[in-house]
C-alpha cells in the first residue's frame, strides 16, 4: 500500500505524548508560514489537513531512514512530492508543505547525504593512499570506477551528484592522464639510441 494511503489510514493510531507534541509544533510552524503567505496569495490548508500531511511526512521519513541516498530520494518523489502536485496552484499551501518537509524529512536526508559523503571521502582517501590514482589508470578509468561502481555501492546509483562532487574535489586534481613525451625529448632519446648502436657496432668490428 502506498505510503500516502497508509498514512491517511493510520493517522488516528495512538502516538506517544512526545510525538503528539512534536507534530503539533510542526503543524503550528506550518500554520505560521501560511499566515505570512495568505495575505499576499490567499488559499492555504486547514488544520486537520496539515495534521494529516505532517503525519505523512513522518511516514516518509521513517521509510527512508537507513536507505541508500538514491533510494531515499526516489521514495520522496513517489510519496511526498505528489502533495506538491495536488496543490501546485496554491502558493500558500506549498509554503506550508515546504515547512513540514523542512522540519520532518530534510533532517533525515541531510543525515543520509552526510553519511554517503563520508563513505565516499573515505574511499577516495584510500585510493589516494594506495597510489591507485595517477599510476597506470587514465583519468576516465578512475572516474568510471569511482563514479560508477563506488557511487552505486554507496549511494545506490551510478554517477550520483554527491559521488561526482567528491571525485572532482578529491581525486580529479591528481587523476591526470600521462602527457606524451615532447617531440624534442623523443628526438634526443632516438639520437642516444642510435649512438649506442653505432658504438656497439664499432666495438664488434674492432
The per-residue pLDDT for range 180-204, each reduced to its tens digit, is 555 555 565 666 666 666 766 666 6
Would you list the domain boundaries of the chain?
3-104, 112-171
What the block records as the C-alpha cell of 109 is 536526508
pLDDT of 63 over the 50 cut = yes
pLDDT of residue 191: 67
Average pLDDT of the segment spanning 151-160: 97
Q: 137 Cβ partners below 8 Å, 6+ apart?
A: 145, 175
Dihedral of alpha carbons 90, 91, 96, 98, sign = positive
Q: What is the DSSP letter of 150?
A: I
Q: What is the residue-averaged pLDDT of the chain?
A: 85
pLDDT of 8 over the 50 cut = no
pLDDT digit string (tens) for 91-141? 999 999 999 999 999 999 999 999 999 999 999 998 888 766 656 677 888
Identify the residue with better confidence: 85 or 5. 85
CA distance 165 to 119: 13
Amino acid at each position: 500500500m502506498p505510503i500516502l494511503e497508509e498514512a491517511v489510514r493510520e493517522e488516528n493510531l495512538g502516538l506517544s505524548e512526545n510525538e503528539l507534541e512534536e507534530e503539533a509544533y510542526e503543524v503550528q510552524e506550518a500554520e505560521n508560514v501560511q499566515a505570512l503567505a495568505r495575505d499576499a496569495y490567499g488559499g492555504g490548508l486547514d488544520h486537520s489537513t496539515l495534521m494529516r500531511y505532517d503525519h505523512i511526512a513522518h511516514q516518509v521519513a521513517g521509510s527512508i531512514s537507513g536507505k541508500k541516498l538514491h533510494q531515499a530520494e526516489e521514495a520522496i518523489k513517489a510519496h511526498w512530492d505528489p502533495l506538491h502536485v495536488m496543490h501546485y496552484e496554491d502558493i500558500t499551501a506549498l509554503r506550508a508543505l515546504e515547512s513540514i518537509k523542512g522540519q520532518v524529512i530534510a533532517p533525515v536526508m541531510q543525515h543520509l547525504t552526510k553519511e554517503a559523503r563520508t563513505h565516499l571521502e573515505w574511499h577516495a582517501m584510500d585510493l589516494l593512499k594506495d597510489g591507485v590514482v595517477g599510476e597506470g589508470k587514465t583519468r576516465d578509468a578512475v572516474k568510471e570506477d569511482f563514479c560508477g561502481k563506488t557511487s552505486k555501492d554507496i549511494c545506490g546509483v551510478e554517477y550520483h551528484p554527491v559521488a561526482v562532487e567528491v571525485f572532482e574535489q578529491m581525486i580529479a586534481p591528481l587523476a591526470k592522464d600521462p602527457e606524451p613525451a615532447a617531440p624534442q625529448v623523443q628526438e634526443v632519446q632516438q639520437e642516444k639510441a642510435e649512438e649506442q648502436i653505432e658504438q656497439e657496432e664499432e666495438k664488434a668490428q674492432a
